[in-house]
Amino acid sequence: MTLRINDEAPDFTAETTAGEINFHEWIGSGWAILFSHPKDFTPVCTTELGYLAGLSGEFTKRNCKILGISVDGVGNHQKWFKDIEVSQGHAVTYPLIGDPELKIVKLYDMLPAESGDTCEGRTPADNATARSVFIIGPDKRIRATLTYPMSTGRNFDEVLRVLDSCQLTAGEKVATPVNWNHGDDVIILPSVSDEEAKQKYPDGWKSPLPYIRVVPQPK
């Protein structure tokens, strides 16, 4: 099953380090980040989960929950949490799904259908495609996806930046330009007429080209 932006995020029920959850119910009326990692007790994944734990308060400020997943069991996750806190300086407080039967990682196309139905005997290389991020909106639709190679740790500051853009553009008729960060100028969508734009932005805009209309980020 190939998932694309604006598709509904598949729902599921799963065991996590915080107990059983139903995904859509767990998201509630806010936003969510679903991210996977290839395997517990591996070096890059340890740095990733530790950094994200330190950044989790920023996601909370944005009404966005964090949910991790790998094909390891919940008990394995809980043992690994100690290593993450000791080595990275942050305790993991967000839940991690245990998916030893590979059901959810295949549901989200993180592993191919022919991957089997057990985590037994699988190496990190077998799970190389399972380093993905899904940003999911309150409507339970996928707003952005990112997939990294096994050898490349993710930049979770970038994930936060993308979340900021998704949240802003979900409520405003603007787009965010290259290297945009929260608070920077934005671009009025081409679908917005000049007449409509004047009502929203009575002070006007900067136009380096006829089709680029730059304005301060809406409050």
DSSP letter for each residue of 100-153: TT-HHHHHTTSS-GGG-S--TT--GGGGTT--EEEEE-TTSBEEEEEE--TTS-
Residue type for 171, please? G
What are 53's two structure tokens?
A: 């734990």
By DSSP bridging, strand 142-147 and strand 132-136 are antiparallel
- Residue 18's SS3 state is coil
What are 213's two structure tokens?
A: 């209309």
By DSSP bridging, strand 31-36 and strand 186-188 are unpaired
Whole-angstrom distance, CA of residue 88 vs CA of residue 50:
5
45 is known as an active-site residue: yes
Whole-angstrom distance, CA of residue 135 vs CA of residue 168:
14
Cα–Cα nearest to 7, from 169, 159, 111, 139: 139
How many CB atoms sit inside 10 A of residue 203's CB? 7
The residues carrying an active-site annotation are 45
